[in-house]
Every structure is written in structure tokens, then in C-alpha cells.
């Protein structure tokens, strides 16, 4: 895993439009994207075909997709520089996924922890789709179509990128040099923001609302959610020694305040949880304010957003179709 900021590379990442984006998505993924986009060629996708691998509402999906697109821009993605598009608009993704699935080892696929976790959440065995199982192969196709060098994601996606590397290596060995081998790029500090309700689980947009802070939550909602966030029995503010719940809140405070760990520990040394939580909520609210203003402006008028996504689609298709063509040729498909 790379630790220094990459430059002159092709960057690719994506987020599922499966609910409202939260501070975990921002700190774990989007914040890294913004830091990378200037010195690299960046491509950011809204992975709607991944979002339909679990039960979802087709009536609200279009809005969810536009919400994610608006989030990208409001958070600082520059659509003039970076490519921003919707996965289902570039059919090469599903086509390459099929080709890659022919060399995807069943054993590796069966060990994917996200599949196991998402399957557990579904009501019955019948609700577990083949698409949920093959989800990581579609993700590999997303990445490999663009000659991607670096994939900025949260810690939970590391295993999927390992699989992507394995598929690319296998393909190249079997059919000749075709794909670039990508590397994950994982934030050192906010790779895994935990749930406010249960610090043993990652913050997730498909869990109960009180477990996450949405990027669009109002100040009063943020205050309420932070006030009810679980803490540990002993009041101590230590990045090393506090329990998992407080460590998580401290990590969020650090990420949004930009302060050093020692400074934070000192700031709250003799304070109560209540005082700490008030400061934490204030910091999150102030940090999200400019984002929220921009988001509301962009989201209230779709035309511009749709134009950006249309332009992104054409740029993405150009790159993806060329790679797909080469992969098919190398596989002996005429
Ligand atoms: P879902 O609950 O629907 O699976 P999610 O909240 O996990 O969604 P994704 O769309 O799967 O979000 O992830 C988008 C990006 O955000 C990925 O790079 C992922 O690694 C990152 N991410 C998601 N949750 C967290 C978290 N709690 N902490 C840090 N990064 C996260
Ligand atoms: N699987 C990822 C979303 C995702 C992605 C990608 C991330 C789909 N395709 C390509 C990076 C690159 C997730 O669940 N967060």
C-alpha cells in the first residue's frame, strides 16, 4: 500500500448510490479523492449497478444517483478536470465483468467478507443474488477498464482490490499483457470510521440512521446523533487508551478539526463527555456548512448535473471501450 501522495497516475474510485452518504464515506474515501485529483488523472464513478445487487427501490434510485453526483461536486471534485460518470452508462463495465468472471476462482470469491456481511443482513437465502456474489468481479472491471494505478478507498475495500489484482495478473499471464495492476490507497487516519451506535461495526449507510452522520444532516440532527453516540464507562480522552467508542469519536474530531492528537488529548483532559460531544458536534457542523450550501445549490437544479454526467459518460466510454476491445481480442473473441 502506498503511503505518500501519488502523482501522474490514473486514479479510479466509486461509491454506491445506496443511501445518503455519511462522514465515513467522506473521510475514508472522498477526502482522499480531492487530495489526489490535481496531480493525477482521476475518474470517479457512481456505481449504480453495484447498488442493485441487494433489494432496492427503483423509484428512488434516480434521485440517489443524482445525490451522489451532487455530493462529489459539492465536496470538491472538479468535473472539468476529473471524469465523473454513472457506471450503467458505460456498458463495457458489465461486459468486461463477464469476461473476468471466466477466470475468477470460486474459492477466492467465497472468501469475500463484504459478501458474507451483506448476505447476513438479507431476510432469506433467496434474497441473496448471484450479482451480490459476483459484485467484486464487476468492481475489478470498473478499475481495470481505465488502466488504473491507484484506487483510493476505505479499509473495507482492500480485499476487493486484492481480488482485482489477482484477476489482472491471471488475465495477463493467460492472455497476454492487457491490464495495469492497481494498488489500493487507504487513508492513514480515517480508513475506518465506526458506527455511532456500535463501535465494533463500520459506519454504514445501510444501517439505522442514528448510527451515522449524513453529510446532509442539519445542525440539530448532528447534535442529537452525537449526543446519543455510545461512549465508554471511564471518561478518558486518549487516542491510545480510550475504548473503541471514544477512540472513534476522537478520530472524527481529529479528522474534522485538523488538530494534532496531543493537542486534542490536552484540550479535553479534564472535560466531561458532554463537553467533548458539544465541541465535536460544533466542529462537524462548521466543517460541513460550506459543503451543504454548495450541495443544496447543485441539487436544486438538475440540468447542469446531467450535462456533467453526459460529458463524463462520453469521456469514460472512449477509454473503456478501447480496453474492452483489446481484452476481447486477447481472449480470442473475434
Ligand atoms: P453500504 O452500507 O451501502 O455498503 P457504505 O456506507 O459502506 O455503503 P460504500 O458505497 O460501500 O459505502 O463505500 C464508498 C466508499 O466509502 C468506499 O471507498 C468505502 O471504503 C468508504 N467507506 C464506507 N464506509 C466507511 C467507513 N465507515 N469508514 C471509512 N470509509 C468508509
Ligand atoms: N465496492 C465499493 C464501491 C465500488 C468501487 C469500485 C470502489 C465499486 N466499484 C471501483 C473503488 C473502485 C464499495 O462497496 N465501497
Ordered per-residue pLDDT tens for the chain, 334 residues: 445 789 999 999 999 999 889 999 999 999 999 999 999 999 999 999 999 999 999 999 999 999 999 999 999 999 999 999 999 999 999 999 999 999 999 999 999 999 999 999 998 999 999 999 999 999 999 999 999 999 999 899 999 999 999 999 999 999 999 999 999 999 887 779 999 999 999 999 878 999 999 999 999 999 999 999 999 887 789 999 999 999 999 999 999 999 999 999 999 999 999 999 999 999 999 999 999 999 999 999 899 999 999 999 999 999 999 999 999 999 999 9
Residues 6+ apart with CB under 8 A from 208: 197
Q: Could you tell me if residue 4 is inside a domain?
A: no
Q: Is 12 in the pocket of ligand 2 (CB under 6 A)?
A: yes
- Considering the domain architecture, whether residues 290 and 311 belong to the same structural domain is answered as no
- Considering the domain architecture, whether residues 261 and 139 belong to the same structural domain is answered as no
Q: Is 205 in the pocket of ligand 1 (CB under 6 A)?
A: yes
CA of 169 from ligand 2 middle (Å) equals 19
Range of the structural domain that residue 272 is part of: 216-297
In tens, the pLDDT along 318-332 reads 999 999 999 999 999
Q: Is 24 in the pocket of ligand 1 (CB under 6 A)?
A: yes
Q: Are 90 and 316 in contact (CB under 8 A)?
A: yes
pTM of the complete model = 0.93
The binding site for L-tryptophan comprises: 142
Residue of minimum CA distance from atom 5 in ligand 2: 14
Q: How many domains does the chain have?
A: 2
- Considering the domain architecture, whether residues 75 and 157 belong to the same structural domain is answered as yes
Residue of minimum CA distance from atom 15 in ligand 2: 15
- Considering the domain architecture, whether residues 64 and 174 belong to the same structural domain is answered as yes
Q: Is 54 in the pocket of ligand 2 (CB under 6 A)?
A: no
CA-CA distance, 135 to 78, in Å (whole number)?
28
Q: Which ligand is nearest to the CA of 17?
A: 1
CA-CA distance, 62 to 284, in Å (whole number)?
28
- Distances, alpha carbon 168 to alpha carbons 138, 142, 164, in Å: 13, 12, 6
What pLDDT does 234 receive? Answer: 77
Q: Could you tell me if residue 207 is inside a domain?
A: no
Q: Is 153 in the pocket of ligand 2 (CB under 6 A)?
A: yes
CA-CA distance, 270 to 248, in Å (whole number)?
19
Ligand 2 atom nearest to 148, measured from its CA: 12
Q: Could you tell me if residue 211 is inside a domain?
A: no
Q: Could you tell me if residue 199 is inside a domain?
A: no
In tens, the pLDDT along 102-157 reads 999 999 999 999 999 999 999 899 999 999 999 999 999 999 999 999 999 989 99
The binding site for ATP comprises: 16-18, 24-25, 154-156, 193, 202-206
The binding site comprises: 16-18, 24-25, 142, 154-156, 193, 202-206
Residues 6+ apart with CB under 8 A from 24: 154, 190, 192, 193, 202, 203, 204, 212
Q: Are 211 and 193 in contact (CB under 8 A)?
A: no
- Considering the domain architecture, whether residues 293 and 320 belong to the same structural domain is answered as no
Amino acid at each position: 500500500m502506498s503511503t505518500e501522495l501519488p502523482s501522474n497516475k490514473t486514479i479510479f474510485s466509486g461509491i454506491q448510490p445506496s443511501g445518503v452518504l455519511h462522514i465515513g464515506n467522506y473521510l475514508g474515501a472522498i477526502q482522499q479523492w480531492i487530495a489526489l485529483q490535481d496531480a493525477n488523472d482521476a475518474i470517479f464513478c457512481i456505481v449504480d449497478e453495484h447498488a442493485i445487487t441487494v433489494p432496492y427501490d427503483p423509484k428512488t434510485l434516480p434521485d440517489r444517483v443524482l445525490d451522489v453526483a451532487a455530493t462529489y461536486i459539492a465536496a470538491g471534485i472538479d468535473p472539468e478536470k476529473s471524469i465523473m460518470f454513472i457506471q450503467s452508462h458505460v456498458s463495457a463495465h458489465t461486459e468486461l465483468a463477464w469476461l473476468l468472471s471466466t477466470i475468477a476462482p470460486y474459492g477466492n470469491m467465497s472468501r469475500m467478507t463484504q459478501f458474507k456481511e451483506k448476505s447476513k443482513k438479507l431476510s432469506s437465502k433467496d434474497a441473496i443474488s448471484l450479482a451480490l456474489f459476483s459484485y467484486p468481479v464487476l468492481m475489478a472491471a470498473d478499475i481495470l477498464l481505465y488502466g488504473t494505478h491507484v484506487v483510493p478507498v476505505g479499509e473495507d475495500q482492500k480485499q476487493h482490490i486484492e481480488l482485482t489484482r489477482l484477476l489482472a495478473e491471471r488475465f495477463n499471464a493467460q492472455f497476454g499483457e492487457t491490464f495495469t495492476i492497481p494498488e489500493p490507497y487507504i487513508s492513514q487516519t480515517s480508513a475506518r470510521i465506526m458506527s455511532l451506535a456500535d463501535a465494533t461495526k463500520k459506519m454504514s449507510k445501510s444501517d439505522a440512521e442514528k448510527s451515522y452522520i449524513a453529510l446532509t444532516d442539519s445542525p440539530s440532527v448532528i447534535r442529537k446523533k452525537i449526543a446519543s453516540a455510545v461512549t465508554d464507562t471511564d471518561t478518558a480522552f486518549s487516542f491510545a487508551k480510550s475504548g473503541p467508542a471514544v477512540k472513534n469519536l476522537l478520530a472524527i474530531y481529529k479528522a474534522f478539526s485538523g488538530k494534532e492528537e496531543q493537542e486534542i488529548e490536552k484540550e479535553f483532559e479534564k472535560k466531561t463527555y458532554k463537553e467533548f460531544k458539544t465541541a465535536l458536534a460544533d466542529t462537524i457542523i462548521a466543517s460541513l456548512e460550506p459543503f451543504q450550501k454548495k450541495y443544496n445549490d447543485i441539487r436544486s437544479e438538475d440540468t447542469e448535473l446531467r450535462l456533467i454526467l453526459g460529458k463524463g459518460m462520453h469521456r469514460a466510454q472512449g477509454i473503456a471501450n478501447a480496453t474492452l476491445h483489446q481484452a476481447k481480442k486477447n481472449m480470442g473473441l473475434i
